[in-house]
C-alpha cells in the first residue's frame, strides 16, 4: 500500500507547488474513516482510494482531484458527511466527492432503474466539473484490475456495465488509453476463452513479425529523415478486444484481418503531418478508401490524426496514423490532456474544456435530462450516443453535422434542430431525392424537406440511431396522443353541455379552470378524454348551480366478454360497479339496437381499470380500445364513430380479459421458462406467444395474456421486470 510520503512525492514530481499539507490531511482522514474495512481481496479498503489517486497522478492532475480521489468513497462507505468534508477540505473538494457518491436508499423497483438514476446523477456532476469523470474512470480502472477477487455473478455484472457505459464514455472523452484497458479487462472476464485464444494468436503473430515490424519502422524513419522531417515512428498491435470486435462485426476469421499491426508517425508541427503524408504516399501505393483526415475535421472527442493505409515493405498493408505530440497526448488521455485546473490557468483551461468536442457531446447528452425522460430512457439514449463511430455530413450552407455511423436523414434533421426533425417529410442527399431511411455516408450533403404541422410517425423511434432523435420523437408522439385525448374530451364535454341544456364555450371553461384545478383548457379536456375527470364535473364547474336531476338511462347486463349491452336511447353501456349513476354521461348513439356485436381491439385488448373507448364500424359492430391505444389515432378525423363506454363487471365473478405485453429478454437458455413461470404464478393465462428477432443478444417476445384487471396486469409486469433475463417489459397498446 502506498505510504503517505509516496503520495506527496508522486504529485510533487510534476507539480513542485503541490499543497503538501492538504495531501497529508486527506491521507490521514481517509485512512481513519475507512478504518478496518476490507476489500474482497482481503487488502485494507484504504488501499483502493490510494491506487485511484496514483492513477490520476500519472495523468498529472491537480491537488484537488488527487484529494477527491483519496476521499471519494468516504461519504458513501463511512460515517463521513458532505458537511464535514466541506469544513475540513473546502466546498470545492466536497462537491467533487459528493458527485462521486452513489444515491443511497433509492426507492426504485429494479436494479436497472437504480443503475440509471445513479448514472444520471454522475453525468450531472461531470457536466458541472470534468474532474468528477476523471476520478470515476480511475476508480473503475482500479476496480477492473482487481475484479478477479469479486464473486462470479457480481463480476459479470460489473464487467458488462464497464463495457456498456464506462469504456465508451472514456472513448467519448478522448481517453483512449483508459478505454482500451477497460475494454480488454471486461472482455477477459466476460469471455475468458475467447480472450485467451486471441491473446495467444496475437502473441504468436508478434513473435513471427518482430523483424518485419523493425524493418517497416526503419524504412519509414529513413525516408522521413531524408526529406528533412523530424519524426518518431512506432509500431503497435491492436488489442485483443479490438480484434475480437472487428471479427464479430465483419464476420471474418482472424487470418483475414489485414490491419492487426499499425504504425504511428509523431511529428512536431501540424504542417509536418501533411509533409510526412506526401512522403509516404509518394514512396508506397495507397489502399483506396482507407484515407481519413481527422486533423481538418476532428472527431467529437477532439481526436486529431491523419489515417492512411499503404502497401509497404514486403508488399504488406501498413496502417499509418500521423499526428503531432500534442495530438498524441490528447488521443491517449483526452480531456485530461488539456492540463485542466493546473497552476494558475483554471479559468482559461476550463473554458477550453467546455468548448471541446467532448464537452459539446456531454452538454447535448445532459440536455436530454431537461426533457423529462425517465432514468431508463436517459440511460438508453446515452448508450446510443456512446457506441457509434461517426460520419460527417453537411447542410446545404456548409454547416458540419457529426452523426453516429448508421445515421439517417431523420437523425440529421433532429441534429440540425428538433423542429426540423418533427417537420421532416423528405430528403435530398447530394442533390438527389432519397428515402428518409437512407444510411448517410461521410461527406454527404443533406437537405431536409419540411411540412409544417407534420407529426413524426412513432415508427421512426425504431430506426433512428441518435438519442436526441429518439427522445424528440417520443415527446412528439406523446403530444399527439395528448391532443387525441383532448379531442375526445372536447366531444364528451360538448355533448354533456348539450344534455344539460347549456351552451359550451372555451371562454366559459377558461373562467372555471381554478375550480377544476387545471392550468389550461387543453389539460382539462385531455383529463376528461383520459377518464380522469367526469364531463358532469366540468358542467358544474362552469355552472355551479346546475343540478343533474335526470334519471340514469336503463342499463343492460353484459351477456359475455365479447358483447356489451345497449341502453335506452342507444347508449352503449359497460358500467363500473358502484357507478350506475354515471351512466347518463355515456354519449347517446342513435339508430342502433341492442344486438350490436362488440369485440376487443386486436394487438392489445383492454382490461377493467382501463379507460375505454368504442369505435363504431357500420355493419360490423363496435371495437373496444383502451384510451391510450396508438391505433385510435387512425380515427382522429372521424369523431362520429367514437362512443363513450363503461365497464359492467360483476365483482363476485372473476373473469379474464385480454392484454398483450412485449418482453425483451436476453437470448439465453431458460429465459422463456422463467417468463412463463412468473405469468403462471401470478394467476394469469398465456393465450399466444410470438418471438420477434431483435439482435444476437436480445429477443422480443410478444405474449397475449388474460388477466383479471389492470391491477393484476401491472403486478404481473412488475414481477417480470425483477427477472435478470428480462431487459424491458411494455404493454403493447401503451
Q: Which residues are catalytic?
A: 76-77
Give CA separation, 652 vs 288, 577, 608, 655, 708, in Å: 76, 11, 14, 10, 12
Q: What is the spatial distance between Cα 660 and Cα 718, in angstroms, rounded to a whole number?
A: 15
For 547, the 3-state DSSP assignment is: coil
Would you mind telling me the total number of residues written for the chain in this entry? 734
- Residue 70: alpha-carbon gap to chain centroid: 31
Q: 249: which residues sit within 8 A by CB, 6+ positions away?
A: none
Q: 128: which residues sit within 8 A by CB, 6+ positions away?
A: 95, 99
Burial annotation 124-141 (CB, 10 A radius, 16+ → b, else e) = ebbbebbbbbbbbbbbbb
Q: 398: which residues sit within 8 A by CB, 6+ positions away?
A: none
User: CA nearest 187: which of 154, 153, 206, 164?
Assistant: 164
Please list the alpha-helical segments (H only) found in 321-417.
325-333, 346-355, 357-367, 375-387, 409-416
For 112, the 3-state DSSP assignment is: helix
Q: What is the spatial distance between Cα 133 and Cα 123, in angstroms, rounded to a whole number?
A: 8
Cell of 461: 423511434
Cell of 449: 424537406
Q: 108: which residues sit within 8 A by CB, 6+ positions away?
A: 114, 117
In angstroms, the first-to-last Cα distance of the chain is: 55
The answer to whether 410 and 469 are in contact (CB under 8 A) is yes
Grid look-up 436508499 returns: 105
**C-alpha atoms less than 13 angstroms from C-alpha of 78 in its C-beta half-sphere:** 23
Instruction: Using CB atoms within 10 Å of the CB of residue 322, give its burial: 0 to 12 exposed, 13 to 18 middle, 19+ buried.
Output: buried
Q: What is the spatial distance between Cα 560 and Cα 638, in angstroms, rounded to a whole number?
A: 28
Give CA separation, 647 vs 537, 640, 657, 716, in Å: 20, 21, 12, 22
Q: What is the spatial distance between Cα 488 and Cα 482, in angstroms, rounded to a whole number?
A: 10
**C-alpha atoms less than 13 angstroms from C-alpha of 237 in its C-beta half-sphere:** 17
Q: What is the spatial distance between Cα 18 and Cα 11, in angstroms, rounded to a whole number?
A: 7
The DSSP-derived string for 473-536 is HHHHHHHHHHHHHHHHHHHHHHHHHHHHT----HHHHHHTHHHHT-SSHHHHHHHHHHTSS-HH
Instruction: Using CB atoms within 10 Å of the CB of residue 341, give its burial: 0 to 12 exposed, 13 to 18 middle, 19+ buried.
Output: buried
Please list the alpha-helical segments (H only) found in 565-688.
671-681
Helix (H) / strand (E) containing 87: helix 82-89
The answer to whether 556 and 569 are in contact (CB under 8 A) is no
Q: What is the spatial distance between Cα 274 and Cα 293, in angstroms, rounded to a whole number?
A: 10
For 230, the 3-state DSSP assignment is: coil
Amino acid at each position: 500500500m502506498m505510504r503517505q510520503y509516496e503520495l506527496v512525492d508522486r504529485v510533487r514530481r510534476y507539480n513542485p507547488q503541490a499543497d503538501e499539507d492538504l495531501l497529508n490531511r486527506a491521507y490521514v482522514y481517509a485512512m481513519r474513516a475507512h478504518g478496518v474495512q476490507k476489500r474482497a481481496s482481503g487488502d485494507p479498503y484504504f488501499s483502493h482510494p490510494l491506487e485511484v489517486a496514483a492513477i490520476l497522478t500519472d495523468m498529472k492532475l491537480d491537488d484537488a482531484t488527487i484529494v477527491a480521489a483519496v476521499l471519494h468513497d468516504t461519504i458513501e462507505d463511512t460515517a463521513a458527511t458532505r458537511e464535514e468534508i466541506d469544513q475540513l477540505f473546502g466546498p470545492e473538494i466536497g462537491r467533487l466527492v459528493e458527485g462521486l457518491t452513489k444515491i443511497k436508499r433509492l426507492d426504485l423497483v429494479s436494479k436497472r432503474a437504480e443503475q440509471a438514476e445513479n448514472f444520471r446523477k454522475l453525468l450531472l456532476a461531470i457536466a458541472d466539473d470534468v474532474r468528477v469523470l476523471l476520478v470515476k474512470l480511475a476508480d473503475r480502472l482500479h476496480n477492473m484490475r482487481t475484479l478477479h477477487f469479486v464473486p462470479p455473478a457480481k463480476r459479470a455484472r460489473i464487467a458488462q456495465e464497464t463495457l456498456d457505459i464506462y469504456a465508451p464514455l472514456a472513448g467519448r472523452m478522448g481517453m483512449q488509453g483508459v478505454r482500451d484497458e477497460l475494454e480488454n479487462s471486461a472482455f477477459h472476464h466476460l469471455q475468458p476463452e475467447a480472450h485467451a485464444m486471441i491473446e495467444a494468436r496475437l502473441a504468436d503473430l508478434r513473435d513471427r513479425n518482430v523483424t518485419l515490424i523493425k524493418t517497416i519502422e526503419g524504412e519509414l524513419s529513413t525516408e522521413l529523415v531524408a526529406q528533412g522531417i523530424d519524426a518518431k515512428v512506432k509500431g503497435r498491435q491492436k488489442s485483443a478486444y479490438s480484434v475480437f470486435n472487428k471479427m464479430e462485426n465483419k464476420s471474418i476469421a482472424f487470418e483475414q484481418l489485414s490491419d492487426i499491426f499499425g504504425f504511428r508517425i509523431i511529428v512536431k508541427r501540424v504542417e509536418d503531418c501533411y509533409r510526412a503524408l506526401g512522403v509516404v504516399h509518394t514512396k508506397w501505393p495507397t489502399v483506396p478508401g482507407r484515407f481519413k483526415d481527422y486533423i481538418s475535421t476532428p472527431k467529437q472527442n477532439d481526436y486529431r490524426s491523419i489515417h492512411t493505409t499503404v502497401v509497404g515493405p514486403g508488399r504488406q498493408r501498413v496502417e499509418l496514423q500521423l499526428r503531432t505530440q500534442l495530438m498524441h497526448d490528447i488521443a491517449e488521455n483526452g480531456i485530461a490532456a488539456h492540463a485542466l485546473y493546473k497552476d494558475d490557468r483554471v479559468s482559461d483551461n476550463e473554458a477550453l474544456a467546455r468548448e471541446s468536442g467532448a464537452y459539446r457531446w456531454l452538454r447535448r447528452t445532459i440536455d436530454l435530462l431537461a426533457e423529462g425522460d425517465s432514468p431508463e430512457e436517459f440511460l438508453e439514449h446515452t448508450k446510443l450516443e456512446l457506441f457509434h463511430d461517426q460520419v460527417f455530413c453537411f447542410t446545404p450552407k456548409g454547416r458540419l453535422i457529426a452523426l453516429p455511423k448508421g445515421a439517417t436523414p431523420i437523425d440529421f434533421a433532429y441534429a440540425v434542430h428538433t423542429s426540423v426533425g418533427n417537420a421532416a417529410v423528405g430528403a435530398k442527399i447530394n442533390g438527389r431525392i432519397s428515402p428518409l431511411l437512407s444510411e448517410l455516408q461521410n461527406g454527404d450533403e443533406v437537405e431536409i424537406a419540411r411540412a409544417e404541422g407534420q407529426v413524426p410517425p412513432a415508427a421512426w423511434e425504431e430506426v433512428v440511431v441518435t438519442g436526441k432523435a429518439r427522445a424528440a420523437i417520443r415527446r412528439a408522439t406523446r403530444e399527439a396522443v395528448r391532443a387525441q385525448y383532448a379531442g375526445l374530451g372536447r366531444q364528451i364535454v360538448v355533448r354533456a353541455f348539450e344534455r344539460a341544456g347549456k351552451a359550451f364555450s372555451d371562454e366559459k371553461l377558461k373562467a372555471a379552470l381554478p375550480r377544476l384545478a387545471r392550468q389550461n383548457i387543453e389539460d382539462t379536456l385531455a383529463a376528461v378524454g383520459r377518464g380522469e375527470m367526469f364531463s358532469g364535473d366540468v358542467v358544474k364547474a362552469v355552472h355551479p348551480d346546475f343540478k343533474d336531476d335526470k334519471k340514469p338511462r336503463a342499463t343492460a347486463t353484459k351477456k359475455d366478454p365479447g358483447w356489451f349491452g345497449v341502453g335506452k336511447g342507444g347508449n352503449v353501456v359497460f358500467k363500473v360497479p358502484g357507478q350506475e349513476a354515471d351512466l347518463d354521461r355515456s354519449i347517446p348513439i342513435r339508430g342502433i339496437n341492442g344486438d350490436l356485436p362488440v369485440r376487443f381491439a386486436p394487438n392489445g385488448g383492454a382490461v377493467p381499470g382501463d379507460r375505454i373507448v368504442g369505435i363504431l364500424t357500420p355493419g360490423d359492430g363496435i371495437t373496444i380500445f383502451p384510451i391510450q391505444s396508438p391505433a385510435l389515432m387512425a380515427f382522429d378525423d372521424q369523431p362520429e364513430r367514437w362512443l363513450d363506454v363503461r365497464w359492467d363487471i360483476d365483482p363476485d365473478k372473476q373473469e379474464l380479459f385480454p392484454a398483450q405485453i412485449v418482453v425483451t429478454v436476453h437470448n439465453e437458455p431458460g429465459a422463456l421458462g422463467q417468463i412463463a413461470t412468473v405469468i403462471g404464478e401470478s394467476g394469469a393465462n398465456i393465450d399466444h406467444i410470438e418471438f420477434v428477432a431483435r439482435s444476437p443478444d436480445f429477443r422480443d417476445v410478444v405474449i397475449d395474456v388474460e388477466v383479471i384487471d389492470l391491477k393484476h396486469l401491472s403486478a404481473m409486469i412488475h414481477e417480470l421486470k425483477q427477472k435478470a433475463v428480462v431487459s424491458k417489459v411494455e404493454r403493447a397498446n401503451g
